[in-house]
Structure 1
Amino acid sequence: MFRLSNNLVGILNFITFLLSIPILWAGIWLKNKGTSECDKFFDTPVIILGIFLLLVSLAGLIGACCRVSWLLWAYLLVMFLLIVLLFCFTIFAFVVTNKGAGQVLSGKGYKEYKLGDYSNWLQKRVGNQKNWRKIKSCLIDAKVCSDFNQKFANDTVEVLYTRHLSALQAGCCKPSDSCGFLYKSPINWEKTPTNSTSDPDCNAWDNQTDVLCFNCNSCKAGLLDNLRRDWKKVAVINIIFLVFLIIVYSVGCCAFRNNRRDNNAYSAGWKHP
């Protein structure tokens, strides 16, 4: 009689197999139809994820339903490695995102972000010029500052200062308050001869829409603040997914044990009719 654990593993992997098809299709679409640097950045990881899920789900499905023990063993090995990697990544995500937060400004509705406040590992990732060129291209393609300009176009500087700006808006779309630039519009600020500051972000600012403060440390810090919050959410989701994987792995172990028992019984019956 076919075991319940085999059925469960088969059903779960059939669902995973169905999910892998649109993921793989999305990766191929991004590779062929993607136009921005962001699209090209994501196509290969999405394709790899789709192929991985496809192969693993097929191994689990065939191994459990067709009682192919070596395939189920390979499936369990991959699942075990995935659990270990996910556990390590979750711990790593909590460690690297434990440091850093925006600095509250007196009389302002937004915070100021300093690159040095975040973990050294994250600083090195955005400090790499090759990485930052890709990230900057993504931010421009996402129209972070274009939307910021349209949303607050009619604001006076006093009103703009009261706005609750996102980390990216505060860090990438406007100069630092310490620069003392004259306000013209949300993304248009005038440098005056009296401006003197040691902040390198002030020299990096430019009113061109594809420059602004995208080369500023404050922009990198704003990105890291977003990343820090997102990674913490992902880490929480990973814990839930980790529990789910452990349950699936345990059921898979039962299915593997059933396969061996059934195969041994079949072999014994073949030898002793």
Structure 2
Amino acid sequence: MSMFRLSNNLVGILNFVTLLLTIPILSTGVYLSHHSSTDCAHFLQGPILGLGIVLLLVSLAGLVGACCKNSLLLWIYLFVMFVLIIVIFCFTIFVFVVTNKGAGEVVSGRGYKDYRLGDYSHWLQKRMENGKNWRKIRSCLVDGKVCERFSTDGTNRTLDQFVKENLSPIQSGCCKPPTECGFTYQSPTVWNKPATGFTSNNTDCATWENDPTILCYDCQSCKGGVIANLKSKWKKVAVVNIIFLIFIIIVYSVGCCAFRNNLKDNAYSGWKGNP
């Protein structure tokens, strides 16, 4: 009985670890599907369950293929890994391209920036302007209570204190009206419209409402703030993707060695079994 080779053992160990990682991923997806009552949670459960199922099937194919010397399963595993490498590489390039354009506008005397949807790439603009997409994102913002921090932390901020705050892009774009609208500050989420009318033609000025469920959630500035936040997250994801891509290529190379070993062992066993 021939001994397993190093590459087969490595593939088996790596896929066993991946198999264990699918347990919390699938558990999270199942929990969201049975206990979530918000659109935001329902929006997340599909990708989480899909990722968990794919990782489960791929890791099982790699584990059985390497440990049981099943060349067919190992070939399927390597094919999926190759596709994954191509997808991750293309996605990483895509992220750098679509997030290359656009940034918040620095406002004189303010610790935060203002955001405009039109400053970003057309692809991202179209995703935000899609009504179905935005309803889901808006639901996540409301459910996440991103604007309630100002009104529930017990701090009575003056205007001078507020303008010095380092607001996140979402807080700046969704929780207050654009600076150019000339609103009068009352509290971080309560702003009075100018009595003489707006001096700016920015449509967000008329969209703003002091209602906590409305605020500027339907403003173009809010969509721009979401994109700015998304840009920051995606660039971090792209860096992680590069590291993960290197790891996947190494695993794929080891898998190729294991596949070659399987073919040799099977050929040797078949030759040995012949009279």
Fold conserved between structures, TM > 0.5 = yes
* In 1, Cα distance between equivalents of 2:167 and 2:141: 16
Deviation at 1:148, TM superposition (A): 2.9
| Cα displacement string for residues 89-111 of structure 1 (whole angstroms, at most 9, x for unaligned residues) | 00000000011111111111111
For residue 28 of structure 1, what is the aligned residue in structure 2? 30
The Cα of 1:4 is off from its aligned counterpart by 0.2
Code of the residue aligned with 1:33 in structure 2: it is: H
Aligned to 2:259: 256
Counterparts in 2 of 1:118-197, with a 5 A limit? 118-151=120-153, 153-196=155-198, 197=200
- 1:114 maps to which residue? 116
SS in 2 for 1:189: strand
CA distance in 1, matches of 2:135, 2:211: 17
Deviation at 1:181, TM superposition (A): 1.3
Q: Report how many residues are paired.
A: 272
Deviation at 1:229, TM superposition (A): 0.8
Match of 1:48 in 2: 50
1:218 to 198, 221, 226: 221
Can you list the C-alpha shifts for 1:29-69, whole angstroms capped at 9, x where unaligned?
10111121111001111111111111100100000000000
Percent of aligned positions that are identical = 59
Tell me, in whole angstroms, the C-alpha distance in 1 between the residues paired with 2:4 and 2:225.
Answer: 55
| Equivalent in the alignment of 1:77 | 79
SS state of the match for residue 67, structure 1?
Answer: coil
For normalisation by structure 2, the TM-score amounts to 0.97
2:185 alignment partner, SS class: strand
Q: Determine the C-alpha separation between the residues in 2 that align with 1:102 and 1:145.
A: 19
Equivalent position of 1:5 in the other structure: 7
Please give the alpha-carbon distance, in whole angstroms, between the structure 2 residues aligned to 1:111 and 1:26.
35
Q: Where does structure 2 lack aligned partners over 5 or more consecutive residues?
A: none
CA distance in 2, matches of 1:155, 1:143: 19
Q: RMSD of the alignment, in Å?
A: 1.0
Contact 1:182 1:192 in 2 (8 A): yes
TM (norm. structure 1) is 0.97
Q: Secondary structure, in 3 states, of the residue corresponding to 1:91?
A: helix
Matches within 5 A, 1:225-244: 225-244=228-247
Task: Tell me how far apart the structure 2 counterparts of residues 2 and 133 of structure 1 sit (CA, whole Å).
Answer: 54
Deviation at 1:21, TM superposition (A): 1.6
Aligned partner letter, 1:212: L
1:153 Cα deviation from its structure 2 partner: 4.2
- Residues of 2 paired with 1:239 and 1:60: CA distance? 22
Q: Give the Å deviation of 1:246.
A: 0.2
Cα deviations across residues 82-141 of structure 1 (Å, max 9, x unaligned)?
A: 000000000000000011111111111111111111100000000001111110110011
Report Cα offsets for 1:179-226 as digits up to 9, x if no partner.
111211111111132122211000000000000000000000000000
Deviates more, 1:255-264 or 1:159-168: 159-168
Residue identity opposite 2:138 in structure 1: K
Question: d(CA) in 2 for partners of 1:22 and 1:166?
Answer: 30
- Structure 1: where are the runs of 5+ without partners? none
2:103 to 94, 101, 104: 101
AA at the equivalent of 1:227: L
Alignment of 1:49-68 (within 5 A): 49-68=51-70
Indicate if the aligned counterparts of 1:148 and 1:169 stay in contact, CA closer than 8 A: no
Whether the 8 Å contact between 1:148 and 1:173 is mirrored in structure 2 is: no
Structure 1 runs (4+) deviating above 4 angstroms are: none
Give the conservation status (yes or no) of the 8 Å contact 1:206–1:212: yes
Distance (whole Å) between structure 1 residues aligned to residue 51 and residue 155 of structure 2: 42
